[in-house]
Amino acid sequence: MGAAGRIPAHWAVAARLLAAGHEVHGYNRTREKAMPLVAHGLKLEETPRTVAESSEVVFSMVTNTAALETVARGEDGILAGLAPGKVYVDMTTASPAFSRALAAEVGELGAKLLDAPVSGSRLSIEQGTASIVVGGDPDAFAQVEPILRDVAGSVRHIGGNGQALLMKLAINVSVHLQMVAFSEGLLIAEKGGIDRETAVDAMLDSAIASPMLGYRGRFVLEQPEQAWFDCNMMQKDLLLALEAGHELEVPMPTTAVSNELLTAARGMGLGHHDFAVVYDVLAAMAGMKGSVA
């Protein structure tokens, strides 16, 4: 599925559903990008509307809230193809407030919306080890839970509509801050004369190791050819988290400062790299060379 065996996250979800034996109808703005999955059984449709009309359970996973609005509310969008009894599972990390509003519109059509963002890399989705948190109607969740378990190793109902998105934002705040703390500690060791790879090995074999650092920590040695989760996407999530913090009156000073490292990465032309490139931003500030040439 692609020359390097990597496919976008939304197609990784579709690939797992196909592998589990589900009939999958799909849509992509650029049809050619979906062709590898067509070879594996995907039935490619012309519009999101026809996907929704052809399916009992409808999935979407797009870049941001604006893209979700287009694919859901557009003239030939998902809402136009929904009918009573259907379940719409949105896996986009979008605004919780928008998701709640969308859930109300879906409810007016006699269908149910679940927000179900995925935590994990594309690789973890492909391997079935990603996790999914779900917000929305418990009965709708019970209906689709077996399908979600064909996608992810962990599936958990969190609460009402929008709550899973809030949980995903909370998770991504921690993911980013772990990477920043790891980078700062590594730079102290490295600038103090310890070989970078030696320091990375020692840190990943210590109490600070986490599943996320286990697969992303080594990106400070060499960035992946294709970003697993780039700076632009991470900053989108941090800004949503900061907005939620403002609404809920939760101070988030560390998140606010760390978010500016992503702004700096973009300003340095590194926005397309995996967000682990914040190490390079801090290295530059320390007068050192990072992982990107």
| 150 plus 171 within the same structural domain | no
**In-domain check, residue 293:** no
Is 291 inside a domain boundary? no
Q: What is the pLDDT of residues 61-108, one digit of tens each?
A: 998 999 999 999 989 999 999 999 999 999 999 999 999 999 999 999
Q: Check if the beta carbon of residue 120 is closer than 8 Å to that of residue 130.
A: yes
**8 A C-beta contact, residue 113 and residue 90:** yes
Contacts of 124 (CB under 8 A, 6+ apart): 130
**231 and 151, same structural domain?**
no
Structural domains counted in the chain: 2
Domain residues for 56? Answer: 9-159
> How far apart (Å, rounded) are the C-alpha atoms in residues 250 and 227?
31
Question: Domain boundary residue among 136, 159, 182?
Answer: 159
Q: Are residues 23 and 81 in the same domain?
A: yes
CA distance 26 to 37: 9
Specify whether the CB–CB gap between 109 and 115 falls below 8 A. no
Together in a domain, 223 and 267: yes
**Model-level pTM greater than 0.75?**
yes
* CATH code where residue 120 lies: 3.40.50.720
In sequence order, which residues have a C-beta less than 8 Å from that of residue 168 and are 6 or more positions away? 93, 117, 119, 133, 237
**The predicted structure's pLDDT at residue 7:** 59
Judgement on whether residues 27 and 136 belong to the same structural domain of the protein: yes
Same domain, 176 and 130: no
Residues 66 and 89 in one domain: yes
Question: For residue 84, which phi and psi values (nearest 5 degrees)?
Answer: -55, 140
- Residue 39 in any domain: the answer is yes
Residues 274 and 137 in one domain: no
The enclosing H or E element of 85 equals none
pLDDT in tens, the chain (293 residues): 233 344 567 778 989 999 999 999 999 888 888 888 898 899 999 999 999 999 999 999 998 999 999 999 989 999 999 999 999 999 999 999 999 999 999 999 999 999 999 987 777 888 888 899 999 999 999 999 999 999 999 999 999 999 999 999 999 999 999 999 999 999 999 999 999 999 999 999 999 999 899 989 999 999 988 888 999 999 999 999 999 999 999 999 999 999 999 999 999 999 999 999 999 999 999 999 888 85
Q: Which residue type sits at 152? A: A
Q: Are residues 38 and 114 in the same domain?
A: yes
The predicted structure's pLDDT at residue 293:
57
CATH number of residue 188's parent domain: 1.10.1040.10
Q: Is residue 2 part of a domain?
A: no
Q: How far apart are CA 104 and CA 59, in angstroms?
A: 17
Residues 49 and 73 in one domain: yes
Do 190 and 135 have their domain in common? no
- Give the model confidence (pLDDT) of 105-121 as tens digits: 999 999 999 999 998 77
Q: What pairing do the DSSP bridges indicate for beta strands 43-44 and 112-115?
A: unpaired
Provide the 10 A C-beta neighbour count for residue 32.
7
pLDDT for res 133: 97
Alpha helices in the chain (DSSP H): 9-19, 35-38, 48-54, 65-73, 78-81, 96-108, 122-127, 138-149, 163-191, 196-204, 211-216, 231-248, 253-267, 278-285
Q: Are residues 137 and 179 in the same domain?
A: no
Query: In DSSP terms, which residues pair with 26 in a beta bridge?
Result: 44
The two three-digit tokens of residue 171, written as one number: 């998770």
